Amino acid sequence: MVIINSTRFDFLDIIEPVTTYTDGYLISLNLGMPPQVFQVYLDTGSDLTWVPCGTNSSYQCLECGNEHSTSKPIPSFSPSQSSSNMKELCGSRFCVDIHSSDNSHDPCAAVGCAIPSFMSGLCTRPCPPFSYTYGGGALVLGSLAKDIVTLHGSIFGIAILLDVPGFCFGCVGSSIREPIGIAGFGKGILSLPSQLGFLDKGFSHCFLGFRFARNPNFTSSLIMGDLALSAKDDFLFTPMLKSITNPNFYYIGLEGVSIGDGAAIAAPPSLSSIDSEGNGGMIVDTGTTYTHLRDPFYTAILSSLASVIPYERSYDLEMRTGFDLCFKIPCTHTPCTQDELPLINFHFLGDVKLTLPKDSCYYAVTAPKNSVVVKCLLFQRMDDDDDDDDVGGANNGPGAVLGSFQMQNVEVVYDMEAGRIGFQPKDCALHS
């Protein structure tokens, strides 16, 4: 395997393995020299890449659930153990971006730089600590660092290890509801594909089914570069939309949803376009687990499903799980895939009809008992005051979210050159 230390090759592609987790998808991040390895969420709904930092006992994560309780050490990056680690300086574009300031001198002023030094861009003080917020009250606190990131690539089909120096990431010492780290894949300058120079081309992913959750022996590929865009003639492409207030999200337009062979339930016009204030549209967000839709559109879809599904409702499981439609499905032989649950189709701009794999819509929330299994629809309502994910409340921001659960067994291509997103249902386990 060849080792190179630059991404400035027109014929270079990055190919990273992706594994399935309980509520999303993970890639390995190899930081420092020698590399320290971390499993982090792949998130197209944010830009910052970060990892837990400090000693294993010093990193604190609040409200992270039993699985990530503070009593259980979480692997943390140790800057002192990397010979190539540096602190990011206050005058850098990354420091300005993470502090979201209209005045590029503010970060330098915060650390006490003299006027001549920060006006000339020569202040050598470290970028001040930041806070970075996500939906649902989640946030991380840390500082910006630069180090080598090591990736798996391909040049003319030859596998290489790629050392990229000067990669900027968050060294996070404490967080709320964000336990293990994130690789930001948004369109901002801090994102991983942006720093590597791939946002002028694009990337793709094909997520394994959630039945492979926590099984490291099964992976699928995240691809950045020309290889992600080649041989995609049979894909269903819909144009990307642009938002002036949220320019780093990947927006598409949703025109309707149909159940089986039925007529499409028309989406409100706000889902197929973005207004002058940047509101509306649907974002493609791998950092959100389930697809979110607003009422009354969402309620109309639930009513249509309930009218055609020939099974008894399981109201107790709906109460216990928080999902809106759960049904008792006859099952005499596992894995209980033979049922009459209808297919769900998304209708996007450009006359695109994406038929979701059935397993991407319904999930067995119980084991078979007395030849019955309970399956629930894994969509959720986006309430007016909902800030559960990377979206705004009320009618601000995106009007809907396409979550990662609905992207399993669908190859998704982010074609940045042509300004479009493509979809193709397939068994990602067979195409990894």
Which residues share a beta bridge with 171?
51, 143
Characterize the bridge pairing of strands 220-224 and 12-20.
Answer: antiparallel
| Catalytic annotation present for 383 | no
Report how far residue 27's alpha carbon sits from residue 16's, in angstroms, rounded to the nearest whole number.
7
Catalytic residue among 13, 97, 285, 388: 285
Close Cβ partners of 343 (under 8 Å, ≥ 6 residues apart): 259, 260, 355, 356, 358, 361
Which of 373, 352, 348 minimizes the C-alpha distance to 363?
Answer: 373
Identify residue 148 by its one-letter amino acid code: I
Cβ–Cβ < 8 Å for 58, 173: yes
H or E element in which residue 229 lies: helix 226-229
Query: What's the Cα-to-Cα distance from 276 to each of 243, 246, 273, 397, rounded to whole Å?
Result: 8, 12, 10, 11
Catalytic residue among 43, 359, 387, 415: 43
Cβ–Cβ < 8 Å for 286, 42: yes
| Catalytic annotation present for 102 | no
Half-sphere exposure for 313 (CA within 13 Å, toward CB):
13
The token duo for 48 is 């910052």
Which residues share a beta bridge with 39?
28
Which of 373, 366, 389, 197 minimizes the C-alpha distance to 290?
Answer: 389
Phi, psi of 12 (to 5 degrees): -95, 135
Active site residues: 43, 285
